[in-house]
Structures are given as C-alpha cells and as structure tokens.
C-alpha cells in the first residue's frame, strides 16, 4: 500500500513537471517510478517523450530498444527518433509497419517521403491530409504541399498543376517561386520572391526582441533564391553581389551556405580560381547529405570536377569524372568533362576512343555529336559522317541532313549525299508527310539531281511538289529545265503554265523599285530628295526621281621647282647620262684638276667649239636617231646648274694665275 502511495505521488510530480516543461526533472521522476516498478509502461512512455523534448534522440531510441516489452505502443516515437537522427530509411520501415496509421503517423510519413525525394506519394498523402483534417495546422500542411509541388516541378521535371494555394505567408511565396522556376517563369518567380521578402520582414515587426541579424538570417534562403533567379537572367554581377552579402552574414544553415558557394563557383567559371577553390571546399564539406537534394549534390560534384580541369589538375579531374560516371550513369556530363580534359591534354584520339565506347550503345546523342566534332577537327570527314548517320531519327533532321550533304559533297561523294537525302525523304514521307521540312528536302534533292545530271529523278520529285504547289513559278522553271534535258515536248507543255509577262509585272511595285535604285545602283549614282509639293527642284529636270552623276574631284597639280621652265623637256625619254645637261659623277670632274706646280692650269681656249676635252662632253652627244633640243630652245633648269658650277670652278682656279 505504501508503494502504491509513493508511485501515485511520483506520477503527480511527473505530471506537474511535464505541464511546466521541466523535462529534465520529469525524466528523473520517471526513473524513480521505474525503479519502484519496472513494468510501468506509462512512466516509460513519459520518459521517452521527455528525452525527445530534450533532443536526446539517441537515448530515447536506446531505451526503446532495451525495453522492448514496454515499447510496444511507442512505434511512432521510435520512427520520429530515427527521422531526427537521419536514419530515414529505418524510419520509413517503422512507419510502413503500422497497420492502421493515425494522422500523426501520416504526417511523419509525408516528411520521411519528402526527405527520401519520393515526391509523388508524398504529394498524394498531403492532399489526403489537407482534405480530411480540421485543426490549426492547415497552413503548415499547405506550405509543405507547395514545397512538394515545387520539388516535383523543379527536380523531377514533372508538369504539375498549380495547387492554387493563396500566398498568405512568406514560406508559401517562396515555394510558389520555386514552382515558377521549375515552370520556366523567371519573371513571376522574381516577383514572388520579392513579395516573400516583404512578408518576412512584416512577420518580425510584431516581435520586439527581433534584431536585424535575425531578420537577415531568415531572409537568407529567399535572397539566395533571388540571386539564382538573377543568374538565370544573365545578371551575374547582381547575383554575385547578393551571394557574397549572404555569405558575409555567416548563416547557420550549412545547406544554404553550400548552395550559395557552389553558385559563386559557377559564376567565376575559369576566373578567380583561388576564390572558387575556397567556395567548392565549403560546398563539399561533410554533413551536407541530408541538407541537400540529390540534384544539388550532383551539381556540386560536377562543378568540383570542372574546377579540377580549370586548375590543370588533370589526374584528379579524370579520377573524379570516372567516379561520377559510375555514380550517375544516366548523366552525360562526366563523360564530356573527361573528353574535354583529354582535348586540353592534346590527346584527341583518346577522347574519340572514349566517346566511341559510350556511343556504342546507340542512345547517347551528345557523345555522337561530340565525336563528330572532334573527328572534323582531326580531318576525319568520313568518321564524322558515320557518327552523324548513327543518330537514329535525329539524323533525318534538316540541320543534320544539310551537314551530311555538305560534308559528302566536299569529298566529291555525290552518291552518298543523294543517299542521305533519299533516306530523309523516305522518313518524312512515312512520319511527317505534311511538314514543311519534307517539301524543303524534296526541293533540295531535286536540285542535287539536276546538278548531278539525273534529270528524270529530278522531274519526278518536282512533279510531286507541283501537285501541292501548281502555280509556283520556281517549281515550274526547274521542271522545264529538267524536262528540257530528256523530253523537249513535255518541257514545252509545262512552259505553257508559266505566268505571262503582264501577270508578273502586275505584282511589281515600280515606285518602290525606283526608290531602291539608290541602293542597288552603281556607287557613283545618288538619289536627290523629292522637292516639297511633288515638284522638281528649280533649274533641274522634271520628275519625282532625279539621278545625277557624282562630281569628280579635280586632282591637284604637283609642286614644281621654282626655276623650272614651263616648256616640256624634249630629252625626258633619254637616259640621264645621254642627256645634254648630264654632269656626270663627281669622280669624273676631278680628272680635269691640274696636277703640276701650284697655280698651274691647262690652257683654256676661249672658243668652246674647238674644245674636245671639257667635262660633260660625252653626255651631251645623243645617240643617232634620238631627238635632241633645237639650238634656238632656251636652256632648261638642269642646263643652267652645270654652267653655274663651271663659273664657280673657273673662279676658284683663277686664284693661281
């Protein structure tokens, strides 16, 4: 009896401590009760709940495992502890074991499914909870439902309808922005994020203890998402500024820090490597597995691999790319990074070999296109064509067909080019006979037939086109050209369907044609502006359009010597040494200087006609048949200079006389 009274008193204390949220003292009381009676399930339950409230999830889970006889009805508490300890799969197994789960189990199951990224089942579960529950947590459920819808649209690229939840809180605005990002509505997402920032600040106005640091901490995730939206709009400078502002505040959410750091690395690209190394180290630190989604972890790993390539860490880049390729076999990015690293190392044959191994499955389109590009860079046109022709249905697209025809014709393999066009025509005739690409390919094939001399095949295709476009003059002209090569009678019959000259001229706008003459005409023609009132300018010819020749600029005459005679030198065609005024070289003039005693000089005859050894006499004798100056013509400027030199020389020689 005394023991029962003692236990009842302890239960009263336990209830009092639980009501006042003194969980530490409540645990001690629960232990006392269990010491008195180890089979007290209620005391054990209270102990586990108090440990959960204190955040001692390990202790609570250990107690549940040890006291299995007392924890039969504590499966929810067990699942919650496993969820909080990031043992998500164990929590899912525990919750699946419930035969008839209640609302709290369904709520926890929805959280577990969201963390495991099983969004479809989570979406259906939240819709059921919102429909069948009536309590004070409807807004939280709507927020979680909006988050699930955004994740489906953003991460799994599923086209989900907007649940139409009113944006009453900043959390709902933020989730709506994420949904709009997944839909591709970047402007709408930016508007929702700005609205979320305003609502977030308003929510802190009623709290007098809230500081600006608290507000900025809560705004961190909104601002990082806003920076991401700016980045999607190519406003990278604004995005980088926001990222750095958030990181300077040192937020406690490690997932938020990792995402912001990773996005800074993507903006830096191959610049600012020192900063990128620091940021990628933060983004790849331990403890982020539960904070990031699988797509986020994948993007960070890919960026780390790219950073190794940009920093010339080739071995690390290849090692990490190989690991990522095994981890994400459906992704093409690790393979392309490896190929890019081989190209940077100037090992293009290894890059092509790697792509050949990947593209052998026949499903990797990017690998085949990359291999075609590398083969062209190496000059292997045939291998590039083989890679393009192995693209399956994509090889029949007009762009690929055009590339193949151009490459084959550059190799003068016209038959292969025709085979490509014929195959594309057959594919479109079967799959898309009414598409405009089909008719374009038919015209291209007929043109190639005409160039290669296959007029009959060209005529067959043109007749097929003519059935849909009977009045097209270009088709008729090509058809006439084709028939003229093998059936002149049929060519004449088709030519009767050509439009008449009057019909063609009726669609010509003469005024616009004349107006465009200024652009299409010769460079020396120019258009005069129409005078006001539709009249011609005064003094000019009448008419709306006046054409005149461009005035030629007069060439300026070159500057002539001051003492030059205006008359034309008749000896200008003779070599210099044969002209009468040629002075000869300086060495020749020194030959006449006397070599006797000082002051001696040779006798000079005053009659120049008797002199035979004066300087320059050889130059003054023109060749037979050459035209020389007449005796009466005035001496030119070059004739005057030697005379002045002779006078100066005589004057100098006269000193010794």
Look at residue 624 and tell me whether its pLDDT is greater than 80.
Answer: no
Q: H or E stretch including 526?
A: strand 525-527
Query: pLDDT band for position 479 (50/70/90)?
Result: confident
Cα(4)–Cα(37) distance, integer angstroms: 10
Query: pLDDT band for position 25 (50/70/90)?
Result: very high
What share of the chain has pLDDT > 70, as a percent? 79
Which of the 8 DSSP states describes residue 568? P
Look at residue 575 and tell me whether its pLDDT is greater than 90.
Answer: no
Dihedral sign for Cα atoms in the order 593, 598, 603, 606: positive
pLDDT at 242: 95
CATH homologous superfamily, domain 416-504: Tetratricopeptide repeat domain (1.25.40.10)
Look at residue 537 and tell me whether its pLDDT is greater than 80.
Answer: no
Look at residue 574 and tell me whether its pLDDT is greater than 60.
Answer: yes
pLDDT at 530: 44
Look at residue 519 and tell me whether its pLDDT is greater than 70.
Answer: no
Whole-number average pLDDT of the chain: 79
pLDDT at 653: 43
Cα(194)–Cα(13) distance, integer angstroms: 51
Alpha-carbon Rg for the chain in angstroms: 49
pLDDT at 105: 92
What is the rounded average pLDDT of the residues 100-120? 91
pLDDT at 557: 61
pLDDT at 98: 85
Residue 80 phi, psi (nearest 5):
-65, -40
pLDDT at 282: 92
pLDDT at 657: 32
Cα(50)–Cα(371) distance, integer angstroms: 63
From the DSSP assignment, how many helices (H) and strands (E) are in the chain?
A: 32, 2
Among 23-27, 203-207, 296-300, 607-611, the range scoring the smallest mean pLDDT is 607-611
Cα(170)–Cα(101) distance, integer angstroms: 32
Convert the pLDDT of each residue in 216-241 to its tens digit. 889 999 999 999 999 999 999 999 99
pLDDT at 275: 92
Look at residue 654 and tell me whether its pLDDT is greater than 80.
Answer: no
What is the rounded average pLDDT of the residues 521-534? 46
pLDDT at 395: 86
pLDDT at 112: 94
Higher pLDDT, 115 or 582: 115
The greatest distance separating any two alpha carbons of the chain, rounded to the nearest whole angstrom, comes to: 174
pLDDT at 490: 83
Ranges of each domain in the chain: 166-252, 416-504
Query: pLDDT band for position 363 (50/70/90)?
Result: low
Higher pLDDT, 597 or 249: 249
Residues 6+ apart with CB under 8 A from 567: 633, 634, 636
Convert the pLDDT of each residue in 258-306 to its tens digit. 999 999 999 998 888 999 999 999 999 888 888 898 999 999 999 999 9
Convert the pLDDT of each residue in 112-142 to its tens digit. 999 999 999 999 999 888 888 877 788 888 8
Task: With CA atoms as reference, report the closest residue to 31 among 52, 19, 13.
Answer: 13
What is the rounded average pLDDT of the residues 322-344? 90
Burial of 501 (0-12, 13-18, 19+ CB in 10 A): exposed
Residues 563, 569, 571, 576, Cα dihedral to 10°: 30
pLDDT at 453: 80
Look at residue 564 and tell me whether its pLDDT is greater than 80.
Answer: no
Residues 443-451: contacts with CB under 8 Å, at least 24 apart:
443/475, 444/405, 445/418, 445/421, 446/478, 446/482, 447/478, 448/405, 448/414, 448/417, 448/418, 448/421, 449/418, 449/482, 450/478, 450/481, 450/482
What is the rounded average pLDDT of the residues 74-91? 92
Copy the structure tokens of residue 124. Answer: 């259906």
What share of the chain has pLDDT > 90, as a percent? 31
Query: pLDDT band for position 368 (50/70/90)?
Result: confident
Query: pLDDT band for position 189 (50/70/90)?
Result: very high
Query: pLDDT band for position 394 (50/70/90)?
Result: confident
On whether the CB atoms of residues 536 and 543 are closer than 8 A, the answer is: yes
pLDDT at 439: 79
What is the rounded average pLDDT of the residues 251-261? 93
Task: With CA atoms as reference, report the closest residue to 642 among 604, 616, 613, 619.
Answer: 616
On whether the CB atoms of residues 458 and 446 are closer than 8 A, the answer is: yes
CATH fold of the domain at 166-252? 1.25.40
On whether the CB atoms of residues 339 and 371 are closer than 8 A, the answer is: no
Query: pLDDT band for position 187 (50/70/90)?
Result: very high
Query: pLDDT band for position 159 (50/70/90)?
Result: confident
pLDDT at 358: 67
Look at residue 532 and tell me whether its pLDDT is greater than 90.
Answer: no
pLDDT at 266: 94
pLDDT at 585: 66
pLDDT at 366: 84
Query: pLDDT band for position 309 (50/70/90)?
Result: very high
Look at residue 21 and tell me whether its pLDDT is greater than 70.
Answer: yes
pTM over 0.75: no
């Amino acid at each position: 009896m005394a023991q029962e009274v003692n236990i009842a008193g302890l239960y009263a204390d336990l209830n009092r401590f639980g009501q006042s949220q003194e969980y530490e003292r409540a645990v001690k009381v629960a232990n006392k009760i269990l010491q008195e009676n180890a089979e007290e399930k209620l005391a054990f339950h209270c102990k586990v709940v108090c440990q959960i409230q204190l955040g001692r999830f390990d202790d609570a889970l250990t107690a549940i495992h040890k006291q299995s006889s007392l924890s039969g009805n504590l499966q929810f508490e067990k699942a919650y502890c496993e969820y909080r300890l990031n043992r998500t799969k164990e929590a899912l197994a525990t919750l699946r074991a419930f035969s008839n789960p209640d609302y709290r189990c369904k709520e926890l199951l929805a959280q577990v499914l969201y963390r495991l990224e099983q969004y479809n089942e989570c979406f259906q579960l939240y819709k059921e909870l919102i429909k069948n529950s009536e309590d004070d947590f409807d807004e939280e459920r709507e927020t979680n439902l909006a988050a699930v819808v955004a994740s489906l649209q953003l991460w799994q690229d599923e086209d989900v309808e907007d649940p139409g939840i009113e944006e009453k809180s900043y959390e709902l605005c933020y989730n709506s922005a994420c949904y709009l990002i997944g839909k591709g509505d970047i402007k709408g997402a930016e508007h929702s994020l700005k609205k979320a920032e305003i609502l977030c600040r308003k929510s802190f106005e009623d709290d007098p203890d809230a500081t600006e640091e608290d507000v900025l901490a809560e705004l961190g995730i909104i601002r990082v998402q806003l920076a991401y939206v700016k980045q999607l709009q190519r406003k990278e400078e604004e995005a980088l500024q926001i990222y750095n502002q958030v990181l300077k505040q040192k937020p406690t959410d490690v997932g938020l820090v990792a995402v912001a750091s990773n996005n800074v690395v993507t903006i830096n690209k191959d610049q600012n490597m020192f900063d990128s190394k620091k940021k990628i180290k933060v983004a790849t630190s331990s403890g982020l597995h539960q904070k990031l989604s699988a797509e986020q972890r994948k993007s960070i790993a890919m960026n780390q691999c790219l950073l190794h390539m940009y920093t010339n860490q080739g071995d690390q880049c290849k090692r990490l790319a190989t690991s990522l390729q095994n981890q994400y076999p459906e992704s093409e990015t690790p393979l392309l990074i490896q190929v890019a690293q081989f190209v940077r190392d100037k090992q293009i044959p290894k890059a092509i070999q790697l792509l050949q191994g990947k593209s052998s499955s026949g499903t990797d389109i990017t690998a085949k296109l990359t291999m075609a590009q590398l083969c062209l860079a190496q000059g292997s046109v045939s291998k590039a064509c083989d890679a393009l022709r192995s693209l399956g249905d994509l090889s029949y697209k007009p762009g690929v067909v055009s590339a193949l025809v151009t490459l084959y014709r550059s190799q003068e393999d016209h038959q292969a080019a025709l085979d490509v066009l014929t195959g594309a025509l057959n594919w479109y005739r079967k799959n898309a006979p009414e598409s405009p690409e089909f008719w374009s390919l038919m015209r291209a094939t007929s043109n190639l037939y005409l160039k290669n001399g296959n007029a009959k095949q060209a005529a067959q295709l043109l007749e097929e086109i003519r059935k849909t476009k009977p009045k097209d003059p270009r088709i008729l002209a090509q058809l006439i050209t084709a028939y003229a090569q093998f059936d002149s009678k049929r060519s004449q019959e088709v030519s009767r369907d050509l439009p008449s000259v009057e019909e063609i001229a009726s669609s010509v706008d003469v005024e616009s044609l004349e107006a465009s003459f200024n652009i299409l005409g010769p460079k020396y023609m120019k258009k005069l502006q129409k005078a006001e009132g539709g009249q011609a300018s005064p003094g000019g010819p009448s008419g709306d359009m006046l054409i005149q020749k461009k005035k030629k600029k007069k060439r300026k005459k070159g500057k002539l010597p001051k003492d030059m005679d205006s008359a034309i030198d008749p000896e200008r065609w003779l070599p210099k040494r044969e002209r009468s005024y040629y002075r000869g070289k300086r060495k020749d003039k020194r030959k006449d200087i006397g070599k006797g005693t000082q002051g001696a000089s040779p006798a000079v005859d005053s009659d120049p006609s008797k002199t035979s050894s004066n300087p320059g006499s050889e130059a003054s004798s023109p060749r037979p048949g050459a035209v020389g100056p007449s005796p009466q013509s005035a001496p030119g400027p070059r004739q005057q200079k030697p005379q002045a030199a002779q006078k100066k020389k005589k004057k100098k020689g006269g000193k010794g006389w």
